[in-house]
Amino acid sequence: MSDPTEGEATRDEPPEAVLDELFATIESRQEELPEGSYTASLFTHEKGENAVLEKIGEETTEAILAAKDDDREELTAESADLVYHLLVLFAMKDLDIDDLRAELRERF
Ligand SMILES: N=c1c2ncn([C@@H]3O[C@H](COP(=O)(O)OP(=O)(O)OP(=O)(O)O)[C@@H](O)[C@H]3O)c2ncn1[C@@H]1O[C@H](COP(=O)(O)O)[C@@H](O)[C@H]1O
The complex's ipTM? 0.90
pTM over 0.95: no
Q: How much of the chain, in percent, has pLDDT values that exceed 90? A: 81
Give the C-alpha separation, 31 to 71, whole Å.
37
Residue 8 falls inside a structural domain: no
The closest-lying atom of ligand 1 relative to the alpha carbon of residue 38 is 38
The closest-lying atom of ligand 1 relative to the alpha carbon of residue 55 is 14
Give the C-alpha separation, 100 to 13, whole Å.
21
User: What local confidence, expressed as pLDDT, does residue 10 receive?
Assistant: 59
Tens digit of pLDDT for each residue in 53-75? 999 999 999 999 999 999 999 99
Domain of 80, in residue numbers: 15-101
Residue with the smallest CA separation from ligand 1 atom 37 is 37
| 55 within 8 A of 85, measured Cβ to Cβ | yes
List the CATH number of the domain containing 54.
Answer: 1.10.287.1080
Residue with the smallest CA separation from ligand 1 atom 25 is 38
Q: Which of 25, 33, 93, 88 is nearest to 56 (CA)?
A: 88
User: What local confidence, expressed as pLDDT, does residue 58 receive?
Assistant: 98
Give the C-alpha separation, 108 to 43, whole Å.
34
